[in-house]
Amino acid sequence: VSRVGRGPLVVAGGSVAGVRVVHALRAGGYDERIVLVDREDGLPYDKPALSKGVLTGEEPQPPPLLTADGLRDLAVEHLPATEVTRLDLHARRLDLDGGARLGFDRLVIATGSHPRRLPALDGMAGVHHLRTRADAHALRAELAGAARVAIVGGGFVGCEVAAAARERGLDVTIVEAGPRLLGRVAPAAVSAAVLGLHTDHGTRVVCGRAVVGYRGSPRVEALELDDGAVLPVDLVVVGIGSAPATGWLGDSGLDVGDGVRCGPGLAAEGVDGVWAVGDVARWADVRSGHHVRTEHWTTAREQAAYVARAVTSGVAGPFTTTGYVWSDQYDVRIQHVGARGTATGEVPTGDGRGRLFLHRDDGEVVGATALNAPRDLLAVRRALTAGGTTPLKGHVA
Amino acid sequence: MPYRIEIDESACNGYGNCVVAAPEVFDLDPVTGIATVLAGHRDDADDAAVAEAEADCPARAIRLSRP
């Protein structure tokens, strides 16, 4: 039975992954109806600047992913400020908030993720999370009137917000429950370099301490840490990771434990014509042999382009990515590619500027992290992109 | 259709996505770390990889102007 003609291709989610799917579908010659459903108001925008230039004020608005003209040129039906509330796979239909229903022929799930919350602080005035344009603007407005800010969580987002707040002249403390900054993504040597970066810029970093409570009402005035310390604050930003936005899929029949479970080709397992891309996708990664989920801009775009190709050409080999991430903190561009390996060593950069860390498994380079060394990082990235792993033994650029 | 590739050097942050997308056309400058167009490619024939590089730039620093 042909599915064609039963309904549009629906993309659920209008961030970088969802919008890229639409672009790539049209570029690939797909000429069926496309509907883009986005929970956010207005035109789709790009998120990386939200934890950087939008907070410092350097780039007050995040850049658009699509203009009104672009939407028209792509012939996309755009439903902004619309939440998808339920997926009925049997009827191949979505429920939208407000009661409308939307049938689909094919579905690309790109609903992203929500910031994780800290139960100890939930609902307090003066406590912020950062995910959307509205979040960033609310946080920026409060940064303007604050003197002391605590960042709970020392991952990329927490570190970036700390740098932005410090650039605004605020007194900044990062509180990380784990033993070091970037502990989930980076080896210890990289964490040490990033720690130095923050302390050099006057940001205090407290690792190995959890927030157990607060003082103040209705607005937070201090954080209580698990060693008894009390940290006076005007403002708190919680950046402790994110959880895939799958609440609307609860009774769909899809496996949504930590993201939509997909096969190697990003197709949702157990169903035809449904894919997931971006933060919400947990796919069978053939390189690692595990189901993995990433929250990276570049990987989201790669996944989107891959799924668009799968739709237009039917080709569906395994999706692979080298995993490229960047983070801008103060005047330093941190770039990472590949895996963290089992052993990390710092090597000289090609021109003596910046710092480069190579990550190895059994002597073979499987990843790298650079601080202000873009060409060195690029050399590793190109080698990994070409060959999966690289025989580089310490000579790059 | 031919086009002209322009790089906004004040916007470019040296992410290198363009070099990965179109290695024949882009590189990062050895001195500045900023994207450059390799000699002979500034007015290139239309090319999917270059369009990819434009779209993949996180800083939106690449412009393809078509006359």
Of B17, B33, B52, the CB nearest to A298: B17
Note the pLDDT tens digit of each residue in A256-278. 999 999 999 999 999 999 999 99
Note the pLDDT tens digit of each residue in A76-133. 999 999 999 999 999 999 999 989 999 999 999 999 999 999 988 988 999 999 999 9
How much is the pLDDT for A5? 55
pLDDT band at B46 (very low <50, low <70, confident <90, very high): low
The whole-angstrom separation of Cα A143 and Cα A138 is 9
Contact B28 A335 (CB under 8 A): no
How much is the pLDDT for A118? 92
A300 HSE (CA, 13 A, CB side): 26
DSSP assigned state of A120 = G
Q: Choose, out of A378, A380, A381, the residue to mutate when testing the contact with B (most B CBs < 10 Å).
A: A378
DSSP assigned state of A183 = T
Q: What DSSP string runs through chain B?
A: ---EEEE-TTT-----HHHHH-TTTEEE-TTT--EEEPTT-TTPPP-HHHHHHHHH-TT--EEEE--
User: Does A381 touch chain B if contact means CB atoms closer than 8 Å?
Assistant: yes
DSSP assigned state of A7 = S
Chain B residue nearest residue A350, CA to CA:
B30
How much is the pLDDT for A185? 87
Q: β-strands A222-225, A230-232: how paired?
A: antiparallel
Q: Which of A364, A359, A307, A324 is nearest to A19 (CA)?
A: A307
Does residue A386 have a pLDDT over 90?
no
How much is the pLDDT for B43? 74
Whole-number mean pLDDT of chain A? 94
Does residue A27 have a pLDDT over 60?
yes
Contact A335, B15 (CB under 8 A): yes
How much is the pLDDT for A395? 37
Contact A215, A228 (CB under 8 A): no
Residues of B in Cβ contact (< 8 Å) with A20 = 55
pLDDT band at A387 (very low <50, low <70, confident <90, very high): low
Helix (H, G, I), strand (E, B) or coil at A244: strand
Note the pLDDT tens digit of each residue in A146-197. 999 999 999 999 999 999 999 999 999 999 999 999 998 899 999 999 999 9
How much is the pLDDT for B2? 72
Instruction: Mention every residue, 6+ apart, whose C-beta is less than 8 A from residue A314.
Output: none
Contact A95, A108 (CB under 8 A): no
How much is the pLDDT for B48? 83
CA distances to A228, A297, A326, B31 from B27, in Å: 53, 21, 18, 12
Of B33, B48, B60, the CB nearest to A375: B33
Note the pLDDT tens digit of each residue in A189-232. 999 999 999 999 999 999 999 999 999 999 999 999 999 999 99
Contact B58 A351 (CB under 8 A): no
Phi, psi of A276, rounded to the nearest 5 degrees: -130, 145
pLDDT band at B67 (very low <50, low <70, confident <90, very high): low
Structure tokens at B21: 């997308």
